[in-house]
């Protein structure tokens, strides 16, 4: 099993590599008003639109906050994830790389690799968290 | 498709092939032993023959057939070509031109004689160069046929040029709405009439230009006939195509993006749906398989149905997949509707599984097809009847996927409003909060911080249900730059920072997350790839 690992909020996060569609950098993110703090904006990449999420802000979410992305974000590395019929772009704090893990990790929440605890996250979990946030006027 | 449509296609295609044939003959004349050129010449004549046969134009197909034999001699190197042989083929090509124009008929005794001479010439094996006579043997000019005068009734233009023209006409329309304010008495009735007439003509011009973007489904489907024939041939099958609803028109950009998905569906139908000739004979089916392309428009949607009369989808493959890969129980599968079951084929899990090879075998999953249709704001569903065939139903928004919109900025945000809803644009200076009160403060609504400035633009909007703008006289239009308090809620004067311009936008649906904002009707992509969010005017809160 291959795991794609990145860092966010001092934590190592691993996502199954088959869901990673592309890693892009230096791509213009268009901010969108009335969105939660973690919603960085939209990108139009190779004919498709992606919501861009700052994963650190998403995981550190505490109530509805004003969007801090007032200006286009530049020089960011963006991880594009595609799974089932969904897609999402994620801004990590840092990209670590790919690791191989042995055995069945189904049901595990974390995996220890080189003295680092890697939190195993499924894209559906990120999506669920995003849907819990409020958008627009409330 | 009726026969006249076939004739039209035959005429257009044959002329194209004849022109290419002439060019090739000119090239081979300078390079007589170029076998590749001879193969190409053979191919062009063969294409004309094939089409002529389909329409039972025997004079054309017979002549082509003999000309092909001649080419084969040179192509295979069994005979050495000569300038006289090339000239004979030129003569044959000229005569084919005459026959194509005359729908395969010969209408004079002299021309019949010429035809007979050509036939008897091509029936013989081409002479070797040493024995060949000079060019004087050329067939005399046709009695009732002269080379057709070159008339141009079709021109090729770039689609982007049409887009540019549309943009320009819309800008002129906007300019007309910004006509400077004149007092009624300052305008002569002649001038008023002139402006009225001018504006009306502009509207007609714009409407006519929008028609250029439309294409009939029939013409679009014709583009696939050759591919369907080729795929059928590759698979050693025979397929007839029926087109229903060919007169329905749709945006060319929308149809263009359907090309790839449709080819994949046709491949599926032919390779895995339609049975071989032997199987069909055993089943008592017509030996020729049938693919029906049916277009239908309903409300705001265009439906394209692709149907084959093949064996249908093997349900047990899907059930096995659900059991083995998705670990579903018989009970869970039993609860699924037929539609849900067939639509499993469209899921990426199914496409990546081994069962795919038995259903599509092309390496590209049906989920990619479903995704590309989803991307156009549409949907794909499948129904199938064992032994009778499969139907793929594509549902698409019929309305144009490219719209014109006035793009503008507020703070760092780029937004847009469809040009249709913009009555006029003006510039104003605002110095106090009191001045601001007469306008709709979109910045406040969208929570965008105010930057200290005094110069703004105002977008004077009209709504779809606002009839007041339709019957206005030009004098009224001249005064609408100022905010009016006519009590009509459907009129709004939006205060914005800068106008970017009237831009063609490709509109994509708002995703699951942003639909929660409830103020955007779509995401517009500008020509340079920049994103502009389309404001949903109906959902703007009152101020």
On whether both B287 and B354 belong to a single domain, the answer is: yes
Q: Which residues of A sit within 8 Å Cβ distance of B?
A: 28, 30-35, 39, 42-44, 47-49, 51, 66, 70-72, 84-85, 130-131, 134-137
**Is residue B77 less than 8 Å (CB to CB) from chain A?**
no
Instruction: Report the distance separating Cα B502 and Cα B404, nearest Å.
Output: 6
Residues of chain A contacting residue B412, judged by C-beta atoms under 8 Å apart:
31, 70-72
Which of A42, A48, A71 is nearest residue B531 as measured by Cβ atoms? A42
Domain that holds residue B473: 402-539
- The pLDDT of residue B433 is above 70: yes
Instruction: Report the distance separating Cα A42 and Cα A47, nearest Å.
Output: 13
Q: Do A84 and B347 touch (CB under 8 A)?
A: yes
On whether both B409 and B373 belong to a single domain, the answer is: no
Residues of chain B contacting residue A138, judged by C-beta atoms under 8 Å apart:
none
Nearest CA in chain B to A43: B531
Q: What tokens does B493 get? A: 């004067």
Q: How far is A131 from chain B (nearest CA, A)?
A: 7
Q: How far is A64 from chain B (nearest CA, A)?
A: 13
- The pLDDT of residue B437 is above 70: yes
Q: What tokens does B288 get? A: 């020729």
Phi and psi at residue B361, to the nearest 5° = 65, 15
- The pLDDT of residue B305 is above 90: yes
DSSP 3-state of B269:
helix
Nearest CA in chain A to B347: A84
Q: Is residue B142 part of a domain?
A: no
**Is residue B517 less than 8 Å (CB to CB) from chain A?**
yes
Which of A28, A49, A136 is nearest residue B508 as measured by Cβ atoms? A49
Helix ranges (H only) for B30-139 are: 35-54, 58-75, 83-101, 109-123
Query: Where does the pLDDT of residue A61 fall: very low under 50, low under 70, confident under 90, or very high at 90 and above?
Result: very low
Q: How far is A98 from chain B (nearest CA, A)?
A: 22
CATH number at residue B439: 2.30.30.40
Q: Do A34 and B447 touch (CB under 8 A)?
A: yes
- The pLDDT of residue B16 is above 50: yes
Residues of chain A contacting residue B413, judged by C-beta atoms under 8 Å apart:
31-33
Residues of chain A contacting residue B529, judged by C-beta atoms under 8 Å apart:
44
On whether both B206 and B336 belong to a single domain, the answer is: no
Q: Is residue B466 part of a domain?
A: yes
The closest of B541, B411, B492, B495 to A32, measured between CA atoms, is B411
Which of A30, A47, A51 is nearest residue B414 as measured by Cβ atoms? A30
- The pLDDT of residue B453 is above 80: no
- The pLDDT of residue B238 is above 60: yes
On whether both B106 and B207 belong to a single domain, the answer is: no
DSSP 3-state of B480:
coil
- Give B536 or B504, the one with higher predicted confidence: B536
Helices (runs of H) and strands (runs of E) counted in chain B: 20, 15
Over range B207-223, report the average pLDDT. Answer: 80
What's chain A's length in residues? 138
Among B119-123, B416-420, B467-471, the range scoring the smallest mean pLDDT is B467-471
Nearest CA in chain A to B375: A48
On whether both B17 and B45 belong to a single domain, the answer is: yes
- The pLDDT of residue B53 is above 50: yes
Q: What is the pLDDT of residue A125?
A: 92
On whether both B528 and B474 belong to a single domain, the answer is: yes
On whether both B351 and B229 belong to a single domain, the answer is: yes
The secondary element (H helix, E strand) that includes residue B219 is helix B217-234
Q: What tokens does B411 get? A: 């703070």
Interface test with A, best of B517, B521, B529, B534 (most A CBs within 10 A): B517
Q: What is the pLDDT of residue B181?
A: 65
Q: Do A51 and B513 touch (CB under 8 A)?
A: yes
Among A105-119, B102-116, B458-472, B494-508, the range scoring the smallest mean pLDDT is B458-472
Helix ranges (H only) for A7-138 are: 55-59, 123-132
Size of interface A-B (CB pairs under 8 A): 69
On whether both B189 and B228 belong to a single domain, the answer is: no
Q: Do B530 and A30 touch (CB under 8 A)?
A: yes
- The pLDDT of residue A133 is above 70: yes
- Give B180 or B373, the one with higher predicted confidence: B373
On whether both B267 and B284 belong to a single domain, the answer is: yes
Q: What is the pLDDT of residue A102?
A: 77
3-state DSSP helix/strand/coil % of chain A, to nearest 5: 15, 45, 40
What's chain B's length in residues? 543
Strand partners, A16: A3
CATH number at residue A109: 2.40.50.180
Is B11 exposed, middle or buried (CB count within 10 Å of its CB: 0-12, 13-18, 19+)?
middle
Q: How many domains does chain A have?
A: 1
The closest of B286, B272, B283, B282 to B238, measured between CA atoms, is B286
On whether both B220 and B208 belong to a single domain, the answer is: no
Contacts 24+ apart (CB under 8 A), B445-451: B445/B519, B445/B540, B445/B541, B445/B543, B446/A33, B446/A34, B446/B410, B446/B413, B446/B519, B447/A33, B447/A34, B447/A66, B448/A33, B448/A70, B448/B410, B448/B411, B448/B412, B448/B413, B449/A70, B449/B411, B451/B411, B451/B497
The closest of B150, B169, B167, B251 to B501, measured between CA atoms, is B167
Helix ranges (H only) for B289-419 are: 315-324, 330-335, 338-343, 348-352, 355-359, 366-375
Q: Do B523 and A49 touch (CB under 8 A)?
A: yes
User: Are B520 and B535 spatial neighbours (Cβ–Cβ below 8 Å)?
Assistant: yes
User: Are B217 and B304 spatial neighbours (Cβ–Cβ below 8 Å)?
Assistant: yes
Write down the mean pLDDT value for chain B. Answer: 80
On whether both B350 and B377 belong to a single domain, the answer is: yes
Q: Is residue A12 part of a domain?
A: yes
> Which of B 338-357 lie inside 8 A of A, CB atoms?
347-349
Q: Is residue B154 part of a domain?
A: no
CATH number at residue B41: 1.20.120.160
Cα dihedral angle (B333, B338, B339, B345), rounded to 10 degrees?
A: 60
DSSP 3-state of B257:
coil
Q: Which residues of B93-116 are buried (b: 16+ CB within 10 A; e: fewer)?
A: bbbbbbbbebebebeeeebeebbe
B247-266, pLDDT tens digit by residue?
A: 888 877 778 778 888 998 99
Q: Do B411 and A70 touch (CB under 8 A)?
A: yes
Q: Is residue B341 part of a domain?
A: yes
- Strand A2-8's sheet: what is its strand order? A94-100, A2-8, A11-16, A116-120, A110-113
- Give B530 or B199, the one with higher predicted confidence: B530
Q: How many domains does chain B have?
A: 4
Cα dihedral angle (B204, B250, B2, B105), rounded to 10 degrees?
A: 60
Residues of chain A contacting residue B530, judged by C-beta atoms under 8 Å apart:
28, 30
On whether both B376 and B455 belong to a single domain, the answer is: no
Q: Is residue B438 part of a domain?
A: yes
User: Are B511 and A48 spatial neighbours (Cβ–Cβ below 8 Å)?
Assistant: no
Phi and psi at residue B301, to the nearest 5° = -115, 150
Over range A106-133, report the average pLDDT. Answer: 86
Query: Where does the pLDDT of residue B488 fall: very low under 50, low under 70, confident under 90, or very high at 90 and above?
Result: very low
Q: What is the pLDDT of residue B126?
A: 85
Q: Quote the crossing angle between the two packed helices B259-268 and B366-375, to the nearest 10°.
A: 150
Chosen domain end from B196, B214, B232:
B214
Q: Is residue A138 part of a domain?
A: no
Q: Is residue A137 part of a domain?
A: no
Q: Do B413 and A32 touch (CB under 8 A)?
A: yes
Q: Is residue A34 part of a domain?
A: yes
Q: Cα(first)–Cα(last) distance of chain A, in Å?
A: 43
C-alpha atoms less than 13 angstroms from C-alpha of B79 in its C-beta half-sphere? 20
Q: Which of B337-341, B371-375, B382-386, B472-476 tops mean pLDDT?
A: B382-386
Q: Do B413 and A72 touch (CB under 8 A)?
A: no
Q: Is residue A55 part of a domain?
A: yes
Q: Do A44 and B533 touch (CB under 8 A)?
A: no
Q: Which residues of B274-299 are buried (b: 16+ CB within 10 A; e: fewer)?
A: bbeeeebeeeebeeebbbbbbbeeee
Cβ neighbours of residue B504 closer than 8 Å, sequence gap 6 or more: B163, B166, B167, B402, B403, B404, B526, B527
Over range B388-408, report the average pLDDT. Answer: 81
Residues of chain A contacting residue B518, judged by C-beta atoms under 8 Å apart:
135-137
Name the one residue in this structure whose structure tokens are 């996250």: A121
Q: Is residue A17 part of a domain?
A: yes
- The pLDDT of residue B352 is above 60: no
Among B11-25, B52-66, B129-143, the range scoring the smallest mean pLDDT is B129-143
Q: How far is A65 from chain B (nearest CA, A)?
A: 12
B120-146, pLDDT tens digit by residue?
A: 999 988 877 654 444 445 555 555 555
Nearest CA in chain A to B344: A84
Domain that holds residue A119: 2-132
User: Are B227 and B276 spatial neighbours (Cβ–Cβ below 8 Å)?
Assistant: no
CATH number at residue B229: 3.30.565.10
Q: How far is B524 from chain A (nearest CA, A)?
A: 10
Say what the pTM is: 0.47
Residues of chain B contacting residue A42, judged by C-beta atoms under 8 Å apart:
514, 523, 531
Q: How far is A127 from chain B (nearest CA, A)?
A: 9
A19-57, pLDDT tens digit by residue?
A: 999 898 878 899 999 999 899 999 987 667 899 999 988
Q: Is residue A111 part of a domain?
A: yes
């Amino acid at each position: 099993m291959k795991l794609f690992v990145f860092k966010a909020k001092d934590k190592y996060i691993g996502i199954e590599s088959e869901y990673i569609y592309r890693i892009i950098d230096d791509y213009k993110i268009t901010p969108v008003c009335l969105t939660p703090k973690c919603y960085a904006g939209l990108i139009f990449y190779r004919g498709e639109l992606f919501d861009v999420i700052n994963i650190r802000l998403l995981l550190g979410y505490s109530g509805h906050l004003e969007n801090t992305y007032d200006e286009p974000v530049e020089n960011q590395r963006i991880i594009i994830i595609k799974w089932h019929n969904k897609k999402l772009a994620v801004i990590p704090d840092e990209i670590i790389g790919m690791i191989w893990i042995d055995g069945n990790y189904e049901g595990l929440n974390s995996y220890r690799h080189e003295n680092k605890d890697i939190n195993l996250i499924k894209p559906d979990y990120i999506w669920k968290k995003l849907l819990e946030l409020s958008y627009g006027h409330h | 498709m009726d026969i006249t449509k076939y004739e039209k296609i035959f005429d257009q295609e044959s002329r194209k092939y004849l022109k290419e044939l002439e060019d090739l003959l000119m090239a081979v004349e300078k390079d007589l032993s170029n076998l590749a050129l001879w193969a190409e010449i053979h191919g062009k004549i063969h294409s004309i023959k094939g089409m002529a046969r389909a329409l039972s134009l025997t004079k054309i197909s017979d002549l082509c057939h003999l000309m092909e034999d001649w080419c084969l001699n040179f192509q295979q190197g069994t005979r050495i070509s000569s300038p006289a042989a090339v000239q004979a083929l030129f003569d044959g090509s000229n005569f084919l031109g005459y026959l194509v124009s005359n729908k395969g008929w010969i209408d004079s005794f002299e021309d019949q004689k010429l035809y007979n001479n050509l036939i008897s010439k091509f029936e013989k094996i081409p002479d070797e160069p040493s024995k060949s006579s000079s060019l004087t043997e050329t067939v005399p000019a046709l009695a009732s046929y002269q080379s057709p005068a070159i008339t141009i009734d079709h021109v090729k233009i770039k689609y982007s040029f049409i887009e540019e023209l549309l943009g320009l006409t819309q800008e002129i329309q906007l300019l007309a709405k910004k006509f400077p304010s004149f007092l009624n008495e300052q305008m002569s009735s002649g001038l008023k009439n002139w402006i009225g007439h001018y504006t009306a003509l502009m509207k007609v011009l714009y409407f006519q230009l929008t028609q250029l973007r439309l294409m009939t489904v029939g013409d679009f489907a014709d583009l696939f006939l050759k591919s369907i024939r080729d795929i059928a041939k590759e698979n050693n099958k025979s397929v007839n195509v029926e087109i229903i609803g060919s007169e329905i028109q749709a945006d060319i950009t929308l149809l263009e993006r359907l090309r790839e998905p449709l080819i994949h569906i046709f491949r599926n139908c032919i390779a895995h749906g339609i049975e071989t000739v032997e199987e069909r004979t055993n089943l008592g089916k017509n030996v020729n398989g049938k693919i029906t392309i049916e277009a239908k428009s309903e409300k705001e949607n265009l439906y394209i149905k692709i149907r084959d009369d093949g064996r249908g989808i093997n349900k047990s493959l899907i059930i096995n997949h659900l059991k083995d890969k998705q670990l579903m129980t018989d009970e869970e599968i039993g609860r699924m509707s037929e539609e849900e079951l067939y639509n499993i084929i469209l899921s990426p899990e199914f496409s990546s599984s081994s069962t795919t090879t038995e259903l599509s075998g092309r390496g590209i999953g049906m989920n990619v097809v479903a995704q590309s249709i989803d991307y156009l704001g549409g949907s794909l569903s499948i129904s199938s009847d064992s032994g009778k065939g499969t139907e793929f139903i594509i549902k698409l928004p019929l309305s144009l996927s490219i719209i014109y919109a006035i793009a503008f900025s507020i703070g760092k945000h780029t937004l847009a409003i469809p040009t249709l809803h913009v009555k006029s644009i003006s510039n104003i200076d605002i110095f106090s909060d009191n001045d601001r009160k007469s306008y709709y403060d979109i910045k406040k609504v969208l929570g965008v911080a105010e930057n200290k400035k005094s110069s703004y633009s105002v977008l004077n909007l009209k709504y779809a249900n606002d009839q007041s703008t339709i019957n206005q006289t030009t004098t009224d239009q001249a005064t609408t730059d100022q905010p009016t308090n006519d009590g009509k809620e459907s009129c709004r004067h939006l205060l914005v920072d800068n106008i970017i311009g009237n831009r063609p936008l490709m509109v994509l649906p708002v995703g699951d997350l942003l639909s929660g904002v409830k103020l955007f009707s779509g995401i517009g992509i500008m020509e340079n790839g920049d994103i502009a969010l389309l404001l949903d005017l109906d959902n703007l809160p009152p101020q």
